[in-house]
Amino acid sequence: MLTERQLLILKAIIDDYITHAEPVGSRSVSKREDMSYSPATIRNEMSDLEELGFLEKPHSSAGRIPSQKGYRYYVDHLLSPQKLSKKDKSGIQSVFQERFSEIEEVIQQSAKILSNLTSYTSIVLGPEVFESTLKQLQIIPISNEAAVAIIVTDTGHVENQTVAIPEGLNTHDLEKVVNIINERLKGVPLVHLRHKLTTEIGKVLEKYIDQYDLMLSLLNRTFISHQNEKVFFGGKTNILAQPEFHNVERVRELFNIFEENALISKLFRAEDQGLTIKIGQENRFEPFDECTVITATYAIDGKHMGTVGILGPTRMEYPRVVGIMDYMAKDLSKLLTNRYNK
Amino acid sequence: MLTERQLLILKAIIDDYITHAEPVGSRSVSKREDMSYSPATIRNEMSDLEELGFLEKPHSSAGRIPSQKGYRYYVDHLLSPQKLSKKDKSGIQSVFQERFSEIEEVIQQSAKILSNLTSYTSIVLGPEVFESTLKQLQIIPISNEAAVAIIVTDTGHVENQTVAIPEGLNTHDLEKVVNIINERLKGVPLVHLRHKLTTEIGKVLEKYIDQYDLMLSLLNRTFISHQNEKVFFGGKTNILAQPEFHNVERVRELFNIFEENALISKLFRAEDQGLTIKIGQENRFEPFDECTVITATYAIDGKHMGTVGILGPTRMEYPRVVGIMDYMAKDLSKLLTNRYNK
DNA sequence: ATTTAGCACTCGACGTAAGAGAGTGCTAAC
DNA sequence: GTTAGCACTCTCTTACGTCGAGTGCTAAAT
C-alpha cells in the first residue's frame, strides 16, 4: 500500500510527464507548489516507487517516467476527470445542432469533435447494424444480369449491394417477393433477415414463387455480410504530433492498421458499457504497446449502439480526455435517442 | 539541342537516380555497360548538362541529380514505357474477373492493384456523377420529420441522403411526385435533375400538387451536391517507404491532404484524355513540389468517366509506372464498357 | 527516525576535430 | 576530342571532451 506522500509524488510525476513528455527529476517535483519536501527526500521515495514498479528510468542518470503499472494506478486511483469548460460544451452542442442529418453523419461529426478537443486521434464505431431493423427493401434491376439491392433501416441508414441476377429468374416474381418481404419482415433486425427468410416466410414464398431456389440464392446474397461495422476517424494525423511517433516506420505501421477496418473495429469495440481505459500492452496488440485506448459506449434509448474511442500515447492527458469522452458519450446518446427513437 | 552522347548520359543518370535515390557520380555512369567513355569525359558532359539546367548538384562534391527540367526532358524524349510482364497482366485480369460487383468496387480494386504493382500511392477518382443518369428515385419516410432519399443511377450506383420533411407536407403527394419523376426524368443526367425539376416537369407538378413550394424545397435538397467525386486510395502508406518522406512533418502534411477529398480530386482530375505526367512544381501545389503525379483517364464506351492516378516521388520509376497506368486505364475502360454499357 | 545537504558518479546531449571517401574541376598529356 | 592525374571540396562518420541534469549514498541536521 502506498503512503500518502508516495501518492502525491506519483501523481506529480505522472502529471508532469503527461504534459512535458520528458523524464521527471526529483528537483522539478520538489519545486511544485504543493510539494514540501527536498529533492533528496523525493529521490528516496522515487527509488521506492521504482522498486514497486510504478516508475522506471530510461537510463541511470535520467529522471523517472511512469511505467504501465504506474499509469494504471494513476487511472484507477488518482484520476479526477476534468470538467469541460463552457466553451467546449457549447462547441459540442453547436455542431450537433447544426442540421438534420443521417445518423452516420452525426457519428462522423462526433469523431471530428472528439479529435479536435483532445488533439489525439478519435475512432468511432458506427451503430452496430444488428440493432437496426428493416424499414424497406428495394431491388432494382440495372441490366439483365445485375440488380442493386437497397436496404433502408429504421435509423435512416441505407445499405446497398450489387447482386447478380440468376439466369432465368422471373423479374416479375422478384417484385412479388420484395413486396412480401416488405410486408412481413418490416421491423426485423437486419442480422435476423437471412434466418427469417427460410423460417418465417419460406413457406409463403415457396407457395407463390416458382423459382424458389434461385430467388433464395439472390436474397441470401442481398442480406449477407452487413455485420461489418463502419469505422469513422477523426484527426488521423493528430497523433503524429506526439513525440512517440517521430519515426516514420512506426507511422507507417500505424496507418496500415488504420486501413484495416476489421482490426480497428476489434480493437476498439467496447466490451462493457461505460468508459474503458486500456493502457499499453493491455491492448494486447503490439503496435499499441505505447498507446492508450479509451473507449466509451453510446446508446439509443438504453440500447447499446456503438463505441467512441480515443487513441493517444500512454502519456495521455487522462483527466481531460476522460472528461470529454464521458460527456461526449452521454450527449451523443441523448441526441440519438431524441432524434431516432420516436 | 542535346547531342546523342548527352542524351545517353542524361538517361543513364536519371535511370540510376530513379533506382538508387542517390546522387550519381561520373565514375558509376562510366562503368555502365553501354557507356564507353571515361569518367572524365562524362564529367565534362555532366557539367554541360548542368549548365543547360537538366542536372543539379546537392553540393559541390556530390554527384548529380536530375532537375525538374531533367525529368521533364526524360519523360518527353527518353522514356520507353515498360511492357507489363505476363504475371502483372494476369494479376490485373484475375482481380477484375473475380466477381460481379458494383462499379465503385471495381474502381476501388483498381486503386489497390495499381498501388500494389507500383508500390506508390494510387488515387482513383470515381466515375464522375454528371455522366451517370437517373434510374430510379425513392423517398422513404423514416419518421414524421425525416425521410431518406435514394437515387439509383444507370451504373448501379446508389446515392442516399437524409432530408427533413417540410412541416405540413402531404406524404401522399410526395409519392405522387416521386412517381412522376420516375416516369419523366428517367435517363436524365444527375446534374441536370435540379434544373429539369423547374423546367420540364414544373408545370405538371404545379397542376397536380398543392404544396408545390414545399415539395420543391425538399426535392432541391435531395438533388443537391452529388457533384463531389468519390476518391479511392490504394497503398496510402506506400509512399512513406520513399526516402523523400522520411520526416514526420511531411508525412503529416501529406496525410492531411489525403483527408481533403475535394483537394485531392482537384489535383488529380485529368484535364485531357489519356496519360498526363506532372512533375514537381508542375503540380502547382507546394507540398507536391517533390512529387510526380501521373494520371490516366478511363471511359465507358468512349465517354470520359474518371481518372486513375499515381502519386510518387519525382524520382519515380517512370517506365514501369507509365506502362502500368496505360494498360490499366485501357483495361478498366474495356471492363466497364463491357459490364455497364449494355 | 526522518529529513536534508553535500558530493561523487553516471550518462546522454552537444560541439568540435580528425579522417575517410566520394566526387568534382582543371590541367596536361594522349 | 578524350582521358589520366591530382588537388580540392564537401559530407559523413567516429572519437573525444565537456556540460548538465539527475542519481545514490553518506553523513549531518532536525
* Closest residue to A252, CB basis, from B156, B162, B237: B237
Q: Gap from A1 CA to D20 C1', in Å?
A: 36
Asked which of A320-324, B5-9, B297-301 is least confident by mean pLDDT, the reply is B297-301
Q: What number is the average pLDDT over the span A227-233?
A: 82
B89 versus A301: the higher-pLDDT residue is B89
Asked whether the beta carbons of residue B259 and residue A245 sit closer than 8 angstroms, the reply is no
Beta-carbon neighbour count of residue B316 at 10 Å?
24
The pLDDT, as a whole number, for residue A28 is: 96
- The mean of the pLDDT values for chain A is 89
Q: Gap from B157 CA to D2 C1', in Å?
A: 67
Q: Provide DSSP, B125-145.
A: EPPPGGGSBEEEEEEEE-SSS
Residue A75 C-beta-side C-alpha neighbours within 13 Å:
25
Chain A nearest C-alpha distance from B34 (Å): 38
Q: What number is the average pLDDT over the span A100-107?
A: 76
Asked whether the beta carbons of residue A142 and residue B150 sit closer than 8 angstroms, the reply is no
Asked which of A56-65, B1-10, B149-158 is least confident by mean pLDDT, the reply is B149-158
Query: d(Cα A69, Cα A222) in Å, to the nearest integer?
Result: 48
The pLDDT, as a whole number, for residue A129 is: 66
The pLDDT, as a whole number, for residue A174 is: 86
- Model pLDDT for residues B10-34, shown as the tens digit of each residue: 999 999 999 999 999 999 999 999 9
* Closest residue to A142, CB basis, from B135, B142, B255: B135
Q: Gap from A62 CA to D30 C1', in Å?
A: 30
The pLDDT, as a whole number, for residue B227 is: 59
**CA distances (Å), origin B150, targets A106, B35, B158:** 19, 64, 7
Is pLDDT at A214 greater than 60 in this prediction? yes
- Model pLDDT for residues B261-287, shown as the tens digit of each residue: 999 999 998 878 899 999 999 999 999
B218: closest CA among B157, B154, B156, B168?
B168
How would residue A228 be classed by pLDDT, with cut points 50, 70 and 90? low
**Element (DSSP H or E) covering residue B55:** strand B55-56
How would residue A130 be classed by pLDDT, with cut points 50, 70 and 90? low
- Model pLDDT for residues A158-198, shown as the tens digit of each residue: 888 888 888 878 888 888 889 989 999 999 888 888 888 88
* Beta strands B231-234; B276-279: pairing state: unpaired
A200 versus A59: the higher-pLDDT residue is A59
CB contacts < 8 A, A to B, total 99
Query: d(Cα A168, Cα B303) in Å, to the nearest integer?
Result: 31
Q: Cβ(A312)–Cβ(A113) under 8 Å?
A: no
How would residue A142 be classed by pLDDT, with cut points 50, 70 and 90? confident
Query: d(Cα A7, Cα B75) in Å, to the nearest integer?
Result: 67
For chain B, give the percent of residues with pLDDT over 70. 96
**Could you give the domains of chain A?**
4-78 (1.10.10.10), 86-128+229-340 (3.30.450.40), 130-223 (3.30.390.60)
Asked whether the beta carbons of residue B240 and residue A259 sit closer than 8 angstroms, the reply is no
Picking from B109, B150, B218 by the largest number of A CB atoms within 10 A of its own CB, the best residue to mutate is B150
B255: closest CA among A265, A266, A109, A259?
A259
Chain A nearest C-alpha distance from B159 (Å): 9
Is pLDDT at B322 greater than 90 in this prediction? yes
Q: Cβ(B308)–Cβ(B122) under 8 Å?
A: yes
Is pLDDT at B342 greater than 60 in this prediction? no
Q: What number is the average pLDDT over the span B317-334?
A: 94
Q: What number is the average pLDDT over the span B108-128?
A: 92
Closest nt by CA–C1' to B23: C23
Is pLDDT at A229 greater than 80 in this prediction? no
Beta bridge partners of A65: A56
Beta bridge partners of B232: B124
Residues in chain B: 342
**Protein CB footprint (7 Å) on chain D nucleotides:** 2-5, 8-11, 20-26
The pLDDT, as a whole number, for residue A171 is: 81
**CA distances (Å), origin B253, targets A238, B210, B247, B250:** 11, 53, 10, 5
Is pLDDT at A342 greater than 60 in this prediction? no
Q: Cβ(A336)–Cβ(A300) under 8 Å?
A: yes
Asked whether the beta carbons of residue B146 and residue A236 sit closer than 8 angstroms, the reply is no
Asked whether the beta carbons of residue A248 and residue B248 sit closer than 8 angstroms, the reply is yes
Positive or negative torsion for Cα A11, A13, A14, A16:
positive
The pLDDT, as a whole number, for residue B213 is: 78
Q: What number is the average pLDDT over the span A48-66?
A: 96
